[in-house]
């Protein structure tokens, strides 16, 4: 589940709008534009609209999402964007649409006129089913289902792979040594292009001044050249940053090469690399790599679900993979990249699968599945013997040979006992501070130390001048030393009012004696 709320631009939307989002993309030179698809397949855009990149048919910026009628119901599969920006997407049906900046014919329509609304890219692609699109700074690529690659747009460094440096006004098949080979993945740096074959070979072309093609030199390439240094491995995924490249093998090994000004290669220094180097992310197998051509940031996710980031991090340089607290690579770009753009089309598919924890929560006090009833204060609470045995030492022994399906409970009140059983299902408590005192008693009785801590937290959060003495008494009674210290401090800090409450007047003699003695030791009665 991707949280679009981590992207600053999405804070402009209402909670209802955010709840409807199923796919999303944040793009633009300052992460100032966004596109999203709703649960009923409508497409909306909002933001600054540089170079007509919102595709709304005009050049107006908008903070209120506008619907792109021409794309509604089209089911977007792949989406990418350039630096102009221009936007390129393909649908589930394999059709390609483009709009936005077109100064170098990167929209593929044979002109250099701005594209103010999404238009289907036809020439050469009309007969192809496109499965993936990729944009560099001002060039575009499309991968067809049959493994053929097409490129067009800006070509000053050979990034279109045509063998010249002339701009390419319409989609052209990338051939030379890719001829009769099957490409399964494509990626673009600012002015370079990469492709992965079905046999794990990697090819690069275009600008190579920082070694981002991985060929062992820094000469530009006008046609695809194989990355020979990776001959002994089988690459599954490839991604490009501004001027660096990451590759992931079928064995979960990560390789990096190219520009390293911000440590984006993760080698521990800032030296550029002309050839791929193996990068260690602890000793775990890597399952996903992430980078995008508008940033100098890298990220990876391991088999154990750990997400690492390195490179440019809010202006700082992180030169080795750094463990984050995120659960997906997308969050790295939302929180650390400059600009905070998405490295891929975010997918926020609804997940109706319940976790084990969620399933257990739903079964608490459910008479339909329960095999045990607790009778407390004349009311029933429904539970499951096996869960209680698993979760609580007390029940493990008390229910072992007990074949009754009703247990009467008189030692504790209904709210307290219900809260205790609910805690065993949910790991949390929802009680008032006063009732939590009763639960603290139960937790002490059953030797449930974690529950004891939770009760103390709840009590601390609900302390006031009126109940401070009662809570202090409870803390002493149940040997909750941390809570006792907390309540005592609170009483000292509010001494004048606390000594005027009924709780203070009715205080147990021994407790009062101890309280006065301890208070005088900390200087509470000095003028």
Is residue 174 within 8 Å of residue 188, measured between CB atoms?
no
Beta strands 346-347 and 307-313: pairing type?
Answer: unpaired
Q: What are phi and psi of 264, to 5 degrees?
A: -70, -10
Is residue 494 within 8 Å of residue 472, measured between CB atoms?
no
DSSP 356-388: HHHHHHHHTT-TTT-SEEEEETTEEEEE-HHHH
Q: Which helix (H) or strand (E) holds 204?
A: strand 202-206
C-alpha 88/C-alpha 99 separation (Å) is 7
- Helices 468-477 and 449-461 meet at what angle, rounded to 10? 170
Mean per-residue pLDDT pooled into runs of 10, the chain (527 residues): 82 91 94 95 96 95 96 96 96 96 96 94 86 98 96 98 96 91 97 97 98 98 97 96 97 96 98 97 92 97 95 94 95 94 87 83 95 96 95 92 88 94 93 85 91 90 90 88 92 93 93 93 79
231 in any annotated domain:
no
C-alpha 430/C-alpha 202 separation (Å) is 56
CATH number where 476 lies: 3.30.710.10
421 in any annotated domain:
yes
424 in any annotated domain:
yes
Tokens linked to 300 = 């990876």
Query: Is the backbone of residue 510 left (phi > 0), alpha (psi -120 to 50) or beta?
Result: alpha
User: Exposed, middle or buried, 70 (CB in 10 Å: 0-12/13-18/19+)?
Assistant: middle
Tokens linked to 372 = 């045990």
C-alpha 236/C-alpha 142 separation (Å) is 18
174 in any annotated domain:
no
**What is the rounded radius of gyration, in angstroms, for the C-alpha atoms of the chain?**
32
508 in any annotated domain:
yes
Is residue 404 within 8 Å of residue 430, measured between CB atoms?
no
Q: How far is CA 90 from the centre of its chain?
A: 24
Q: What are phi and psi of 170, to 5 degrees?
A: -135, 160
Strand partners, 258: 244, 273
89 in any annotated domain:
no
Cα–Cα distances (Å) from 154 to 191, 241, 504, in that order, read 8, 18, 81
- Total structural domains within the chain: 1
243 in any annotated domain:
no
Q: Is the peptide bond before 85 cis (omega within 30 degrees of 0)?
A: yes
Is residue 21 within 8 Å of residue 348, measured between CB atoms?
yes
pLDDT, residue 350, reads: 64
pLDDT, residue 351, reads: 62
Instruction: Please give the residue range of the domain that contains residue 497.
Output: 386-399+415-522
511 in any annotated domain:
yes
C-alpha 49/C-alpha 8 separation (Å) is 17
Strand partners, 409: 376
């Amino acid at each position: 589940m991707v949280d679009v709320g981590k992207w600053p631009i999405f804070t402009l939307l209402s909670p209802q709008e955010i709840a409807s989002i199923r796919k999303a993309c944040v793009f633009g030179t300052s992460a100032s534009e966004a596109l999203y698809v709703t649960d009923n397949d409508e497409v909306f855009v909002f933001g600054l609209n540089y170079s007509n990149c919102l595709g709304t048919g005009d050049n107006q910026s908008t903070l209120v999402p506008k619907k792109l009628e021409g794309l509604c119901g089209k089911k977007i599969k792949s989406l990418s964007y350039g630096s102009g920006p221009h936007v390129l997407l393909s649908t589930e049906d394999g059709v390609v649409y483009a709009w936005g900046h077109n100064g170098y014919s990167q929209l593929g329509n044979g002109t250099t006129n701005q594209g103010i609304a999404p238009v289907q890219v036809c020439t050469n692609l009309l007969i192809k089913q496109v499965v993936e699109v990729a944009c560099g700074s001002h060039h575009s690529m499309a991968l067809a289902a049959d493994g053929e690659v097409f490129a067009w747009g800006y070509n000053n460094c050979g990034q279109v792979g045509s063998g010249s440096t002339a701009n390419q006004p319409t989609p052209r098949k990338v051939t030379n040594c890719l001829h009769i080979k099957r490409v399964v993945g494509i990626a673009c740096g600012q002015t370079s292009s990469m492709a992965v074959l079905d046999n794990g070979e990697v090819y690069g072309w275009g600008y190579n001044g920082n070694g981002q093609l991985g060929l062992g030199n820094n000469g530009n390439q006008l046609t695809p050249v194989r990355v020979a240094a990776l001959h002994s491995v089988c690459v599954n995924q490839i991604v490009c940053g501004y001027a660096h490249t990451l590759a992931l093998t079928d064995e979960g090994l990560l390789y990096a090469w190219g520009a390293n000004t911000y440590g984006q290669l993760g080698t521990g220094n800032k030296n550029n690399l002309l050839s791929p180097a193996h990068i260690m992310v602890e000793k775990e197998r890597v399952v996903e790599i992430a980078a995008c051509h508008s940033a100098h940031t890298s990220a990876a996710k391991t088999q154990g679900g750990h997400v690492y980031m390195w490179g440019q991090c809010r202006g700082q340089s992180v030169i080795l993979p750094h463990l984050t607290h995120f659960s997906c690579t997308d969050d790295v770009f939302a929180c650390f990249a400059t600009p905070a753009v998405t490295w891929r089309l975010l997918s926020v598919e609804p997940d109706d699968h319940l976790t084990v924890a969620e399933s257990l929560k739903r079964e608490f006090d459910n008479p339909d599945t329960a095999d045990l009833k607790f009778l407390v204060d004349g009311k029933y609470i429904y539970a499951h013997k096996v869960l209680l045995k698993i979760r609580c030492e007390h029940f493990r022994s008390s229910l072992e040979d007990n074949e009754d399906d009703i247990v009467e409970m008189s030692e504790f009140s209904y709210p307290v006992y219900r809260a205790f059983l609910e805690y065993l299902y949910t790991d949390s408590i929802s009680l008032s501070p006063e009732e939590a005192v009763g639960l603290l008693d139960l937790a002490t009785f059953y030797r449930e130390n974690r529950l004891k801590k939770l009760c103390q937290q709840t009590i601390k959060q609900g302390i006031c001048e009126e109940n401070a003495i009662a809570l202090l008494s409870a803390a002493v009674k149940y040997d909750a030393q941390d809570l006792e210290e907390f309540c005592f401090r609170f009483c000292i800090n509010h001494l004048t009012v606390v000594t005027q409450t009924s709780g203070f007047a009715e205080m147990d003699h021994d407790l009062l004696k101890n309280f006065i003695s301890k208070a005088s030791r900390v200087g509470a009665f000095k003028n």
